[in-house]
Chains A and B, each alone.
Chain A
Amino acid sequence: MNRWRPFHRIRESFVAKISLTLVAVVVVLAVLFDLMLIRLQQRAYEQENIKHGLALVRLLAQSVRIAVFSENNQDFIMPVNSILSHEDVVEADIFNHEGAMLFSRKKQENSLSQILDNPEHLATIFKNIKESGEMHWQTPNSFIFWWPVYFNTATGSDESLFFETEVEPAAEELIGYAALVISKQSFTEGIRHILVNTGVIVVCFLAAGLAMSFVVVRHMTRPLSNILKKVRENTGGALVRDDLSLLSETYGGMLRELEQSFETIKELKDGLEVKVVERTRELSDRQIQLETANLKLSETLAKLQEAQQQLIQSEKMAAMGQMVAGVAHEINNSVNFISGALPSVKRLLGDLKELLASYEELEGMPNGDERRGNIAAIHELKNDIEFAGIFATFEQLLANIEEGTTRTTRIIKDLKIFTRQGAEKFKEADIHSIIESSVPFIDSRQMKGVEIRKQFGDIEPVTCLAGRISQVFLNIMQNAVQAMNGKGVLTISTWQENGQVHVRFADTGCGIDKDLINRIFDPFFTTKEVGKGSGLGLGISYDIIKQHSGRINVESKVGEGTVFEVILPVSPPIFPMKMD
């Protein structure tokens, strides 16, 4: 049984079947191609032989035309012998136009004439030649060719004997027939060569084709073989079935599974639609709930915004309170100069009035003792009122009053700058002046132990809302002073870099915790005690600087201090809208 095993395997192997089919097809095609090629070559070779034979018989007919015309046997010998010298020509016959043989010669004199074997047939041949002009046919051993012999018998004029005259071409007269028998020996030999050569070529082609087919089939069916191998492994490998059955069963199984899958999918789909409807309804409910919540949130947001506005207002009020406190302190200091000087001035003015009254009384007295007594009293009065230094004292007091007035005027001026924000427009402003005008508004109560160091660099005027920028600076400085808790150094430095002005506020305060530093610009964020700060100051400052296309950088170390750096472009790219 094992002896037949390879044949069983071939019968079972799909690849083997394809290979064998392909081989069979190639072989059949090669044989058909071979037969067709042989037939075509045979036909072409035959046509070539016929053409050759016709050329020879035509040549013969041309060569013997004078001999046929004159019916002179001697004249036939040379052209006929010439044609017979050709290897395969075995017989040549010449007839006159009436069919009578004029000349006949065979290569082998004793052989039978193949043309004259059927004399009755000649009449038909001549008739056909007259009509068609040529004729040829084959016998098993030879080709037979016929060609008419024409001769131009027209006579020209006497003048044509002497001169080249234009003579109308005369119709040629049929004067005979030439026949040629050509042996098929060479032709048969040639055909045999064709068969052999073609056969060899086809065998070579077949061998190459089969080899190629084997390689191609092997290469192309490798994926299929792999699939089959895997299928066999999946099916246990124990079953011995042919490949096609295996594939068919596998495919059938897959199809069934696929159908089941489709069924399942359909069921799931039906269930899914119900679920989608339910989920859609749920989503609608949720949407309604969300809309309700959204409405509530909107209301809450409105309330929050309202509260925010109130807080902002509170911040404003607080800021204003701080500012007013500072202003009041300053004005109070200024007014102290005046109010402190005024009692002394009143007192000195009384002394002077008393002295002048003594001098008026003295003017009306006659010289005498009384007069001298009054003069001594006047001198005594002068000593009492320290008349010698009274004018110097006056001047000192007036200087104090002037100082108080000057300070008050400056405060009012700064206050005017600070309070004209609402109607402010962008225009060029000196940052140093803005800083200078902001410093006086720092709460002076916390400034006692604070030193402000100014390290101003060379900067260009900045196009800005000066009041707003002043508000930012004041906010930063106020925070710094608060952070230093009444003692420390606030260093304000400025410089210009790449078309931007940098203003740096460095304090030596308590610093900001690392975890909080990212939140300091958030609205309502504050580290101050409740009621001391709204948490909006830096947020507003941040907005103002952003409004100027600038930015604020913050660096801080707890226990060492904080640095705020405000960076403003000298010319903002686009002037922002006026701020409220």
Chain B
Amino acid sequence: MKQSLAIIITLMLLAGVSTAQAYDIVVVKNGDEMPMAQVVRAFGDKLVHLLPARGVKSIEPHRFREIDIRRNPIKSAVEQEILASRPDLILTLGRNALLAVRDISEIPIIYLLVVAPEIIIENRDNITGVNLEIPVKLQFDELTRLLPRVRRIGVIYNTGHSAMEIQEARQARADLQFVALHAKSAREVPASLEELRGRVDLIWLLPDIIVTNPQILESYFLFSFENRVPVLAFSEKYLKSGAALVVTFDMAAMGEQAAVMAARILLGSPVSGVPPADITRVKTIVNPTVARKLQLVIPEDASP
């Protein structure tokens, strides 16, 4: 009789334990480029860590299903495929992936690797994510740590695209002198660079499609090499072109950040309660060849 009572009590206790289950997550991506895989891997690892599958479904891990919109570019087909499987969450990677699923309102969506997502999201309340913007303060804090002598920052910007960054930079680092020249088009970049000759210690490359046009990019690096002025860029891709150092996203950190947001949503928080966030961690990379050629002095204790 005592044994039967103990079993009943144990079962009642087990019934009271949280019954977190394995979740179906659809990853919508645009191609198989390396950073995407890195982000998805970090997201998955973190999510499993945050939401370990347990309870009656503990034998099943979270299910990740990938949809590549480059292979299936028809938006309605992608939507139908996702709605048919009724996943618990949609993770989008890149602007096109977000555009492909933004009209699905029944399922929470977390975006990653999207520049200016607000234009796409508009007023939808089931979408949140990590903004692809490097906080200016973090960027210049890293710069100062590596190149403490740099004071005069030359930057060419377009008023319509990147005036905000100039303003943020001046506010965040009042100790630095920003020589900012407006360029209406890429044609004006070489002339603007000529104006910067002898006036700056570093060229700050902005993520501005007007003034950082890939075809005019050569001008920046030519200027850099001719005047021994390093270029601070925002993506690893510019290292091989000639940037001296890069302060950029930490892909794994972005994935983990998105996983935290996803966990909150999957555990019941409304999407509106999990607002879009800026990245919290950056990665700094120095091009040693360029640094050596430009005779940059980087303190040993400041090496990334």
Contacts and interface: CB of A to CB of B under 8 A. Distances in A.
A72 B115 contact: no
A75 B190 contact: yes
B177 interface: no
B152 to A, nearest CB: 21
Interface in A268-297: none
Contact of A156 (B209, B218, B235): B209
Contacts of A161: 115, 207-209, 212, 234-235
B237 A157 contact: no
Given A66-B216, A70-B219, A152-B215, A163 B113 contact: yes
B169 to A, nearest CB: 18
A69 interface: yes
A7 interface: no
Nearest to A153: B215
Contact of A72 (B94, B191, B218): B191
A71 interface: yes
Interface string B72-108: 0000000000000000000000110000000000000
Interface in A154-179: 154-166
Given A157-B95, A162-B115, A163-B33, A70 B188 contact: yes
Given A66-B219, A70-B219, A159 B113 contact: yes
Interface string A61-101: 00000110111101100000000000000000000000000
B116 interface: yes
Interface in B1-31: 31
A69 B207 contact: no
Contacts of B95: 157-159
Contacts of A426: none
Interface in B159-213: 186-191, 194, 207-210, 212-213
Contacts of A67: 190
Contacts of A163: 33, 35, 113, 235, 237
B249 to A, nearest CB: 8
A394 interface: no
B207 A70 contact: no
Contacts of A153: 186, 213, 215
B190 A155 contact: no
A71 B189 CA distance: 11
A71 B212 CA distance: 18
B213 A155 contact: yes
Contacts of B33: 163-165
A162 B94 CA distance: 11
B132 interface: yes
A69 B187 contact: yes
Contacts of A158: 95, 115-116, 207, 209
Interface in B232-279: 234-235, 237, 248-249
Interface residues of B, number: 34
B236 to A, nearest CB: 9
A153 B114 CA distance: 23
Nearest to A164: B237
Contact of A160 (B191, B214, B249): B214
Contacts of A165: 31, 33
B31 A166 contact: yes
A159 B35 CA distance: 12
Given A162-B207, A163-B235, A164-B33, A151 B215 contact: yes
Nearest to B216: A66
Contact of B194 (A69, A71, A74): A74
- Residue of B186, B213, B215, B249 with most chain A CB atoms under a 10 A cut-off: B215
- Residue of B116, B187, B209, B216 with most chain A CB atoms under a 10 A cut-off: B187
A70 B190 contact: yes
A71 B213 contact: no
Given A70-B187, A74-B194, A75-B190, A162 B234 contact: yes
A159 B190 contact: no
Interface residues of A, number: 24
A174 to B, nearest CB: 14
A66 to B, nearest CB: 6
Interface in B112-147: 113-116, 132
A11 B188 CA distance: 89
Contacts of A152: 215
A155 B209 contact: yes
Contacts of B35: 163
Contacts of B219: 66, 70, 75
A160 B214 CA distance: 9
Interface string A119-153: 00000000000000000000000000000000111
A544 to B, nearest CB: 119
B282 to A, nearest CB: 13
A166 B113 CA distance: 16
Contacts of B214: 156, 160
A66 B187 CA distance: 8
Interface in B42-56: none
A460 B31 CA distance: 117
B237 A69 contact: no
Contacts of B114: 159
Interface string A159-203: 111111110000000000000000000000000000000000000
A66 B235 contact: no
- Residue of A66, A152, A165, A166 with most chain B CB atoms under a 10 A cut-off: A66
Given A163-B33, A163-B35, A70 B189 contact: yes
B227 to A, nearest CB: 13
A75 to B, nearest CB: 5
Contacts of A71: 187
Contacts of A160: 214
Given A158-B116, A162-B115, A166-B31, A69 B186 contact: yes
A151 B215 CA distance: 8
Contacts of B186: 69-70, 153
Nearest to B132: A162
A155 B218 CA distance: 15
A159 B116 CA distance: 10
A74 B113 CA distance: 39
A429 to B, nearest CB: 119
Nearest to A70: B190
Contacts of B222: 66
Nearest to A74: B194
Contacts of B235: 161-163
B199 to A, nearest CB: 15
Interface string A496-530: 00000000000000000000000000000000000
Given A70-B188, A70-B189, 9 more contacts: A70-B216, A151-B215, A153-B215, A157-B209, A159-B94, A161-B212, A162-B132, A163-B35, A165-B33
24 contacts: A66-B215, A66-B216, A66-B219, A69-B190, A70-B189, A70-B191, A72-B194, A74-B194, A75-B190, A75-B219, A156-B209, A157-B209, A158-B95, A159-B94, A159-B95, A161-B115, A161-B212, A162-B113, A162-B132, A162-B248, A163-B35, A163-B113, A165-B33, A166-B31
**Closest 4 A-B residue pairs measured CB to CB?**
A158-B115, A70-B190, A72-B190, A162-B235
